[in-house]
Chain A
Amino acid sequence: MPIIVNLDVMMAKRKMTLNELADRVGITISNLSILKTNKAKAIRFSTLEAICRELDCQPGDILEYQPE
C-alpha cells in the first residue's frame, strides 16, 4: 500500500509508549500495533483525530504517500 504510517516516528519524538498512546486514544494495543506496522487497511477520522490530539501533530505528520 502506498500510504505509510509514521506513527513510530511521532511517538519517538513525543517520547510516548504504545501502551500510553493506546490508553489515551482509547483503542487496544493490538489495533495500534496494526496501525504502526502498516497492516491497517483504513483509519477512521475519529481515531486519526484522537491520535493527532494526543501527539499534538497534523495528519500529514503521521500519514505519508509513497508511490509504488
Chain B
Amino acid sequence: MSIKQETTLTMKQNKPIKFRIFSIILVIIYAFTIISHFGDLIKGFKDGYNEFNENSLYNNTTFLKVERQIPTEELQTLESSNYTIALKNIENTSEVLVEFNTLSPFYNFVDNFLMFFGVVTLIAIIISVFVLLKFLQQMFFGHIASSAQIKRLRYITYPLLSFAVFNTSYILFFNHLHEELLQPFDLKLIKEDIDTSVFFIPIILLVILEVLKQHVKIKEEQELTI
C-alpha cells in the first residue's frame, strides 16, 4: 500500500466527514422543527386559555362538528332519552357546532385515561429528544454501530411509535364514540382525519435499528473469527 493510499485510509478512519455533515444537518433541521412547533404550542395554549376564560362551563362541555342539514334559523336544542344537545351556527361554513352539556361518566373516564397516557407519551418524547442529541453527538465522532447507539435509537423510536399508535387510536376511538352519541339525533359527524404519516419516521427508524443490529452481530462475529 502506497503512502498516499495509507494516508487517505487513515483520514477516512479518523475523520468521519459524512457522519459529521449529517449530524450537523440533523441538529439544524431539528432545531428549526422545534422552534416552529414551539410557536404552535404557545398559540394552542393561548387559544385554549382564552376559551376557558370566556366559558366557565368549558370543562364540562364537549364540542363536535356536524354537517349542516337544516337551515340556520332552525338550529335549536335537541333532546334524546340520554342527552341534550345545542346546535350552534358557524359563520360561512357548511358545519354546525354541537354542544353537549351532559356526558356519561364513562366518556369522561376514557377521556381522562387517554389524556393521562398522552401526557406520559409526551414526557417520553421529551426524554427522547435528549437521547437524540447524545446519539447525534456520538454520530458526529463516527460512532454509529454500537450497542450503546442501538440502545439510544431504541429510546428514540419506541416513544415515537407509541405516540403514533396512541394518536391514531385516540382519533379512531373518539370518532366512533361521537358517532354513537349523535346517532339518536340523526346528525352526520365531521370526523377528525387520521394522520398516517406519524408512523413513517418510527417505522424507518425501526428498519435502521434492525440494520444496525445485524451490523453489530456481523462485526462481533468477524472480531471473534480467529
* Residues of chain A whose beta carbon lies under 8 Å from any beta carbon of chain B: 27, 31-32, 34-35, 39-44, 47
Cβ contacts under 8 Å, B226 to chain A: 27, 31-32, 34-35, 40, 42-44, 47
Residues of chain A with a CB closer than 8 A to B119's CB: none
Most chain B CB inside 10 Å of its own CB: which residue of A32, A35, A39, A41? A41
**How far apart are the CA atoms of A32 and B224 in the complex, in Å?**
11
Q: How far is the CA of A44 from the CA of B226 in the complex (A)?
A: 6
Contacts of B220 in A (CB 8 A): 41
Bound Cα distance A27, B224 (Å): 13
User: What residues on B are CB-neighbors of A42 within 8 Å?
Assistant: 221, 224-226
What is the chain A residue whose CB lies nearest that of B220?
A: A41
Contacts of A27 in B (CB 8 A): 226
A32 to B123, CA, bound (A): 49
CB-CB nearest in chain B for A25: B226
Q: Which residues of B contact A44 (CB under 8 A)?
A: 225-226
The contact sample of 15 A-B pairs, CB cut-off 8 A, is: A31-B226, A32-B226, A34-B224, A34-B226, A35-B226, A39-B224, A40-B224, A40-B225, A40-B226, A41-B224, A42-B221, A42-B224, A42-B226, A43-B225, A43-B226
Shortest distance from the beta carbon of B199 to any chain A beta carbon, whole Å: 36
Report the minimal beta-carbon distance from B219 to chain A, rounded to whole angstroms: 11
Chain A residues in 8 Å Cβ range of B224: 34, 39-42
Residues of B within 8 A of A34 (CB): 224, 226
How far does the Cβ of B217 sit from chain A's closest Cβ, in whole Å? 10
- A57 CB to closest chain B CB (Å) equals 17
Residue ID in chain B nearest A27 by CB atoms: B226
Task: State A39–B221 Cα separation when bound (angstroms).
Answer: 10
Taken together as a complex, chains A and B put the C-alpha atoms of A42 and B218 apart, in Å, by: 12
Apart from A43-B225, A44-B225, A44-B226, 8 more pairs, CB < 8 Å: A31-B226, A34-B226, A35-B226, A39-B224, A40-B224, A40-B225, A42-B225, A42-B226
B79 → A minimal CB distance (Å)? 72
